[in-house]
Amino acid sequence: MSQIDTTYMKKNKIIKNLIIVLILGMVINIIFSLYTDFGKMLDNLKEVKLNFVLIPFFIYIVVYIIESIRLKIVLNVFNYKISFKDSFFNNVMGYFFSFLTPLATGGQPFQIYHLKALNIKARESSSIIISRFVENIISIIAIVMIFLGKVLNIVYTTNLNRKILFLGLITSLFFAFFFLIFLMRPDYIGKFAKKIENTKFISFLEKKFRKKDLSEKINKWTMELKDSVSTLWKKNLYIMILDILLGMVVLLLQVYSMYFIFYEIMKIQMNFFEFSLIYFLLLLVSFYVPTPGASGGIESVFILVFLDFFSSKSLIVLSVFLWRISTYYLQILFQFIIFILYFKEYTNGGK
């Protein structure tokens, strides 16, 4: 676990990101509150029941449990068996570091490092984590594209800059295509590394990371990764189909965590299907906000768009605020507690 300790257990960095997240979220919500009837919003807040926050919060706990089961099932393909506790920690921390890093870039690397610490080969853990990332983004894009006509109606209903919405969709398509190609043929990266092995760029990377023969190591790793991906998708396709279906359940639960709050607070007439399409489309846009966990950006995008669908500004701001409290800020608190407890147990020798 030493590699994880030195890479991720930098409390100052974690606390710094936590402070940034809290400040951004607070500032955005204060700004939007100024454009609403603040007194009315306070009155509406008094009517909020505790379960409006608790139910979405526990929906995400269910999400972690499903994600943990998914990981155990797929690891079994490679004959690896880990405890539910380790699997749960891996997935909770995946969300934790995604929530605290720009563009959600920190979650997957931590998951791979953690699995490596559990004696799971990096190429196999990489194939699993990368596959899951590709499944997630392609599932969202597939839903948007299948119901493109309905999505376009939604886009032209909003006053939000349509170019931003289309840019988010196109950017997501590009990344999905890139990672899909990488997943199918990771050896392309290795072959490319071999072609540029004598360049200054590779020399720079070798000095920076203190690695010799970096191109050869990359080439070897990608070839091994190709074999692992083949084991997953060609030899165990039924397992991966199950993984995709469970991933879809996770996505729909995340949508419902927001739909529940909007329904309870605003009594919206919009059905869950239409709400899901809006959610997925906005998720593709807000994902690229370059702040830790897209904090501030997600609130802004969702509030601005929902203003075009529902009339009460104060209720929209309140609903989005409560949703982020239960599914983001309280989740970070829960995740941080799990983080501390897990490593405290490890350092005390109890595993």
DSSP string for residues in 64-102:
HHHHHHHHHHHHGGGT----HHHHHHHHHHHHHHHHTSB
| DSSP letter (8 states) at residue 78 | G
Quick count: other Cβ atoms within 10 Å of Cβ 84? 12
d(C-alpha 108, C-alpha 127), whole Å: 11
d(C-alpha 91, C-alpha 181), whole Å: 25
Please give the residue that has the higher pLDDT: either 115 or 209. Answer: 115
Using DSSP's 3-state secondary structure scheme, residue 191 falls into helix
In the prediction, which pLDDT does 1 show?
44
Long-range pairs of 212-219 with CB within 8 A, sequence gap ≥ 24: 218/189, 218/190, 218/193, 219/187, 219/190, 219/191, 219/193, 219/194
Structure tokens at 239: 């397992």
Structure tokens at 229: 């991906």
In the prediction, which pLDDT does 260 show?
96
Average pLDDT (33-51) is: 70
Please give the residue that has the higher pLDDT: either 1 or 75. Answer: 75
- What Å distances lie between residue 281 and 65, 203, 269, 274, 277, CA to CA? 26, 42, 20, 11, 6
The H or E element containing residue 168 is helix 162-184
Q: What integer best gives the mean pLDDT of the chain?
A: 80
Give yes or no for residue 6 having a pLDDT over 50: no
- Predicted confidence band of residue 2 (pLDDT cuts 50, 70, 90): very low
| DSSP letter (8 states) at residue 76 | G
Average pLDDT (238-245) is: 90
In the prediction, which pLDDT does 179 show?
75
Identify the bridge partners of residue 292 per DSSP, sorted by sequence position.
102
Q: What are 93-109's pLDDT values in tens digits? A: 999 988 887 766 778 88
- Predicted confidence band of residue 85 (pLDDT cuts 50, 70, 90): very high
In the prediction, which pLDDT does 34 show?
59
Q: What are 125-154's pLDDT values in tens digits? A: 888 888 888 888 888 888 888 887 887 777
79 backbone φψ class: left, alpha, beta (φ>0; ψ -120 to 50): left
Give yes or no for residue 7 having a pLDDT over 50: no
Q: Which of 12-21, 61-70, 169-178, 231-240 is most confident?
A: 61-70
Using DSSP's 3-state secondary structure scheme, residue 102 falls into strand
Give yes or no for residue 32 having a pLDDT over 70: no
Residue 139 CB partners (closer than 8 Å, separation 6+): 244, 247, 248, 251
Using DSSP's 3-state secondary structure scheme, residue 292 falls into strand
Give yes or no for residue 190 having a pLDDT over 80: no
In the prediction, which pLDDT does 161 show?
57
N residues, the chain: 351
Decide: 157 and 200 in contact? Cβ < 8 Å: no
- Predicted confidence band of residue 186 (pLDDT cuts 50, 70, 90): confident
Give yes or no for residue 268 having a pLDDT over 60: yes
In the prediction, which pLDDT does 159 show?
64
Exposure b/e, 260-298, CB count within 10 A at least 16 = b: bbbbbbbebeeeeebbbbbbbbbbbbbbbbebbbbbbbb
Question: Which amino acid, one-letter code, is at 213?
Answer: D
This prediction's pTM: 0.82
Give yes or no for residue 323 having a pLDDT over 90: yes
Quick count: other Cβ atoms within 10 Å of Cβ 27? 13
Question: What is the maximum alpha-carbon separation in the chain?
Answer: 67
In the prediction, which pLDDT does 259 show?
96
- Predicted confidence band of residue 36 (pLDDT cuts 50, 70, 90): low
d(C-alpha 236, C-alpha 230), whole Å: 9
φ, ψ of residue 124 to 5 degrees: the values are -80, -40
Structure tokens at 101: 């890093």
d(C-alpha 127, C-alpha 224), whole Å: 10
Average pLDDT (236-240) is: 87
